[in-house]
Structure 1
Amino acid sequence: MVKSRTQRGVLLLLIALILFSLYVRGTFRGEGLRRALITLSTPPQEALNRAYKAAADLIARYLYLLEVAEENRRLKEEIKRLKLERQLLSEKAREAERLRKLLGFKRSAGLKVMPARVVGISPQPQSRAFYIDKGSQDGIKKGMAVVSYEGVVGRVTVVGAGSSLVVPIVERGAKVSVILEDSRTRALLEGLGWGCRLLYLPKEEEVREGERVLTSGLDGVYPKGLTVGTVRRVVRRPGELFLEVEVVPSVDLSRLEEVLVVLEG
């Protein structure tokens, strides 16, 4: 049936073209020929109109989809931009909070300090040392103490023009003269590479877990009264003269971004 309709349409179109040709040549004139042309051309014209409308709808739909796709792309880019701005604002807020705490520590401690940023870590695999962005041109000298608002960090060991190397108190072999906050017992704190311990504490001393460990100020490096850490474990071994005391440092080096270098204590 579809084939016969197609053949019929083609036949009518051919007849319409022949009649139009004859009309142009002057063979047929008058109202009769006009009616015949209209009658014969109506079915093909309707088919062409339907085809045109379908094509126009298809093109319009395609253009609409392109517009929607472009709008989606713009919205995705806008979402990415807003997420990045939110992250940056959040990071700036956290940085401002850290700097506020550093400023508060500076005021409460009564120390002359210089703020610095952590800009790198030591390439030595077993070292916890790190670099700061202040050096000799900023007044930094070897042996100066480095602290944060949480407590003692370490001391400067190498000084360059615009940067310095800081060895933290947890570095293996690093030592700090300390005092226990409650008992007021003096001891020597030693770094173990991952944490710290107290040396030369007699077994008779009363040391409790959770007690704060402070700087004694007797080593000439760290001002007195700064927080060093907290006692985590106390062990009394038979036959030993001294206690085994583990200390958790108050400063988490893995999260350290800003520090204060003590210029005068």
Structure 2
Amino acid sequence: MIRFFVSVWENFKEYIVLVILLIVSLILLSQNSSQGIQKVRSIAFGTFASVTSVFTDVFNISNLKNENENLRRTNAEMMLHLSRLREYAIVNEDLKGLLALKDSSTFPLISATIVSKSLTKSQGTITLNAGNNQSVKVGMPVITDKGIVGIIYSTADNYSIARTLTNVDLKVTVKSERTRENAVLKWNGEWLVMINVPKTFDLKKGDRIVTSEISSIIPFPLPVGLVYEIGNVEKGIFNEVKVQPFVDFQKTENVFILGIVKSKEIDDIEFNLLNRQ
């Protein structure tokens, strides 16, 4: 609290002195009832009201910013909880002690703002204002309350770069939440597509797609999107499935970095050499 008042004094001391002087002046003016003094008093009250209004706006903006950050954090945590709950419910519908699991109570979320974007047709990347000093590591998922945005692949002291799902160099193992069938998701320059999907898979339009637990990058299921279209490839035994992502990569400005790196050897094929320069 003391630091807060010191910070306010250092940043607004001129205004604070002005307000104090205005208050003293108003007290003195209030003791005089002459017509000329009354006009001066009216002007002074108007000035005082304007100055106090500025201070009120500054504090309100600061409070709104903090409330917005807390709301985004809560929404992201709810998304993670819901994803884990949905996964456990599908695996075992009779699991009664699900809500008592210790590791489902909190998630290590690192708040970050996107400071720049490179959303070209094939190389979607974002730069975040969080890095090594904020415990960000290569391989950590980047999320919003809607689902996964991408994966961290480069870090500096206070900044990091993530490849979004709209990057041809990033491939992620995903699955249908309904059928549990796995496939590889990639960006083809136009759409997110699940490739080499056997025609025997029972995928349907509208199926919810999440990251797969067999992924060597992402530790547990995160929402990806919905099946938009199943392309019936005439030749061969595979289909290509278009996926509509939950996250709007163009409009996203604030994200969270999930502070977890899967604790097994990273599969270089899936990870696509994230450390590559």
Superposition TM-score, scaled by structure 1 size: 0.61
Q: For 2:191 and 2:226, locate their aligned partners in 1 and report how far apart those are by CA, in whole Å.
A: 11
| Structure of greater Rg | 1
Answering whether residue 130 of structure 2 is matched by residue 133 of structure 1, we say: yes
Contact 1:146/1:261 (<8 A) preserved: no
User: Does residue 71 in structure 1 map to residue 45 in structure 2?
Assistant: yes
The 1:70–1:195 alpha-carbon spacing in structure 2 relative to 1, beyond 3 Å, is: farther
The answer (yes or no) to whether the contact 1:203–1:236 under 8 Å persists in 2 is: no
2:41 alignment partner AA: E
Q: In the alignment, which residue of structure 1 is the partner of 2:260?
A: 262
Higher helix share: 1
Mapped pair 1:163 → 2:159: yes
The alignment partner of 1:199 has SS state of strand
How many residues are paired up?
A: 204
Does residue 1:213 correspond to 2:209, yes or no?
yes
Q: Give the superposition deviation at 1:173.
A: 3.7
Q: Deviations over 1:112-136 (max 9, x none)?
A: 964323245456462332224132x
Deviation at 1:74, TM superposition (A): 2.2
Aligned pair partner of 1:186 in 182, 195, 215: 182
Match of 2:229 in 1: 234
What runs of 5+ residues in structure 1 fail to find an aligned partner?
1-59
Distance in 2 separating the partners of 1:91 and 1:159 = 26
Deviation, structure 1 residue 181: 0.9
CA–CA distance in structure 2, aligned partners of residues 123 and 262 of structure 1 = 23
Compute the displacement of 1:147 (Å). Answer: 3.8
Aligned identity (percent) is 19
Q: Aligned in 2, Cα 1:162/1:94: closer, same or farther, shift over 3 Å?
A: closer
Find the counterpart in structure 1 of residue 59 from structure 2: 85
1:95 aligns with 2:69: yes
Q: In 2 relative to 1, CA 107–181 (structure 1 residues): closer, same or farther, beyond 3 Å?
A: closer
Distance in 2 separating the partners of 1:118 and 1:158 = 15
User: CA offset at residue 244 of structure 1?
Assistant: 4.7
What secondary structure, in the 3-state scheme, does the structure 1 residue paired with 2:167 have?
coil
* Aligned counterparts of 2:69 and 2:193: Cα–Cα separation in 1: 32
- What's the CA shift string for 1:169-202, capped at 9, x where partnerless? 2224421111011122222111356762222234
Structure 1 window deviating more from structure 2 (145-154 vs 210-219): it is 145-154
d(CA) in 2 for partners of 1:76, 1:249:
47
Structure 2, unaligned runs of 5 or more:
1-33, 85-102, 264-277
Where do residues 243-254 of structure 1 align in structure 2 (5 Å cutoff)? 243-253=239-249, 254=252
Q: 1:115: which partner in 2?
A: 109
Given candidates 178, 197, 201, the residue that maps to 1:201 is 197
Matches within 5 A, 1:30-49: none
1:212-265 Cα offsets, whole Å, 9 max, x none, are 11111333111242222222x214457365545332333344132332231346
Cα distance change of structure 1 residues 225 and 115 upon mapping to structure 2, 3 Å threshold? closer
TM-score normalised according to structure 2 size: 0.59
Report if aligned partners of 2:112, 2:129 keep a CA contact under 8 Å in 1: yes
DSSP 3-state at the match of 2:166: coil
C-alpha change, 1:174 and 1:80, in structure 2 (3 Å) is same
3-state secondary structure, aligned to 1:257 = strand
Equivalent residue letter for 2:50: K
Q: Is the partner of 1:166 in helix, strand or coil?
A: strand
Deviations 1:21-58 (A, max 9, x none): xxxxxxxxxxxxxxxxxxxxxxxxxxxxxxxxxxxxxx
